[in-house]
Structure 1
Amino acid sequence: MIKNNVEAIIEGNRVIYKRYFDVSIDLLFEAWSSQEHLSEWWGPDGFTITTKRLDFSNGGIWEFIMHGPDGHNYKSKIQFIEINKPNYIYYQHLGDDEGTKEIHFQSKIIFEESGEGTNLTMEQIFPNKEELERVNKKYGAIEGGKQHLGNLAKYLEKRK
């Protein structure tokens, strides 16, 4: 696990991000599960979000809009498949009827205690390798994933 840096591994149709966070597993899990926290860090550099609704439960839906630094809005919908506090969150990105309807993937967020901190693994699974390549080319998804976890780290540093 890379401390204070993001490791990204591409394996076929999957991208696996790994990062160590110098915070408790409970705080790290909480940062992924409450609207208060998510609104402070979610997304790549320069993005902000507006949550329309958040039901953080198995089968629950999170609808939100990502506001890009270029002024473009990306409507998004996530369905939580399985949540096991504080060990993991599995969800699927469903896109939205208007904004990001063509982007579908599943994510597994795994939290593991490590000394005084927590190792996080974020695995994104696309329908196939070509879809991963398309989304990465069009949206810069892999770099965006790294920035996503970097923004989480910056936010958590302020919360310590």
Structure 2
Amino acid sequence: MTATTSHPFETAGDRELVITRVYAAPRELVFKTWTEPQHVVRWWGPRGCTTTIQEMDVRPGGVWRYVMRTADGTDWTNRIRYREVVVPERLVYDHGSDVEDDPNGFHVITEFHDRGQQTEVVMRMQFASVEARDRAAGYAGANSTFDRLHELLDDLAVEFVVRREFAAPRELVYRAFTEADRLARWWGPKGFTMQTRRHDPRPGGIYHYSMRAADGHEMWGKMKYVELTPPERLVFVNSFADGEGNIIAPPFADDWPQEILHTITLTEQDGKTLVTLRGLPIHATPAQRATFLAGHASMQGGYGSSLDQLTELLATE
């Protein structure tokens, strides 16, 4: 668990502020949440803000540029220039806006200390003046930012990940994930026949489908699309459903989560496509999260069977 305090900062010297947090996660994983874009965008910034990365080059001399949008729609441009990167122990960088010699910029030293089953993060911020330090000390968003990191680490502890490389161009693989006629030929358990009831591939749209076993037993499922960025990324919430598209409890385990957030990324290299599928339970109870974690091995088999069918489909095209 995170060591939370009512006020996030401690003063150290005339121009320095220090934040210390402890996370129940291995140091390597905590370091990745600070340095890998897919993790950073899920926690960086106060609650209610979103972070859009323009570039992120985590190495000495590298630059990270991003835009933070507040809840009221205001955009703030930021630039971080890395001075030192020691994996997984230490990050040193200068943080400011995208203006040279930003008077509000500050120097940061963040250290990741291995504490057995936990990781202690110590972040030291050094400012140009006492006045700049005091303005930062009044910042109300630091606690919620580090709380969001804690929530992300909780999620990553139960996240399911499967990767598969396909000998096909990325555009074709993306179409196999987003076109109903192709989806029906591979998505779902091996031996089941799929039929589409409704398909609306846009944010907020759904894919409502049935799965019929050889003995005639029928189940229904539903994807609710969250994000479609062709041909790179697809995000949707998957659940069991009834014939009308209403979410229902899974038919095989009382404590299985009803909704699973899927994030699928596609990376092309030398004419091949690497697909990374991540599954994460949402709106789940602690018991459901534990059941999901315990089911990772069987999920590897189930998703592996479906991806085998996708391999066969792509071979025909």
TM-score scaled by structure 2?
0.46
Larger of the two Rg values belongs to structure: 2
1:144 aligns with 2:141: yes
SS in 2 for 1:40: coil
TM-score scaled by structure 1?
0.88
Give, in whole Å, the separation in 2 of the partners of 1:23 and 1:136: 27
Deviation at 1:147, TM superposition (A): 2.1
Task: Return the letter of the residue paired with 1:9.
Answer: E
**Structure 1 range deviating more: 128-137 or 111-120:** 128-137
Greater relative contact order, per chain length (Cα 8 Å cut-off, separation 6+) = 1
Q: Deviations over 1:30-87 (max 9, x none)?
A: 0001111101110112111000111111110000000101110000000001000111
- What residue is the counterpart of 2:112 in the other structure? 111
SS in 1 for 2:60: coil
- What residue is the counterpart of 1:94 in the other structure? 96
User: Are the equivalent residues in 1 in contact too, given 2:17–2:137 (CA < 8 A)?
Assistant: no
- What residue is the counterpart of 1:4 in the other structure? 3
Give, in whole Å, the separation in 1 of the partners of 2:108 and 2:145: 13
- What residue is the counterpart of 1:81 in the other structure? 83
User: Are the equivalent residues in 2 in contact too, given 1:15–1:125 (CA < 8 A)?
Assistant: yes
Relative distance call for 1:31 and 1:130 in structure 2 (3 A) is same
SS in 1 for 2:141: helix
Give, in whole Å, the separation in 2 of the partners of 1:107 and 1:13: 12
Give, in whole Å, the separation in 2 of the partners of 1:3 and 1:158: 14
Give, in whole Å, the separation in 1 of the partners of 2:131 and 2:46: 22
- What residue is the counterpart of 2:132 in the other structure? 131
Which of 15, 20, 23 does residue 22 from structure 2 map onto?
A: 20
- What residue is the counterpart of 1:60 in the other structure? 62
User: Are the equivalent residues in 2 in contact too, given 1:62–1:78 (CA < 8 A)?
Assistant: yes
User: Are the equivalent residues in 1 in contact too, given 2:110–2:124 (CA < 8 A)?
Assistant: yes
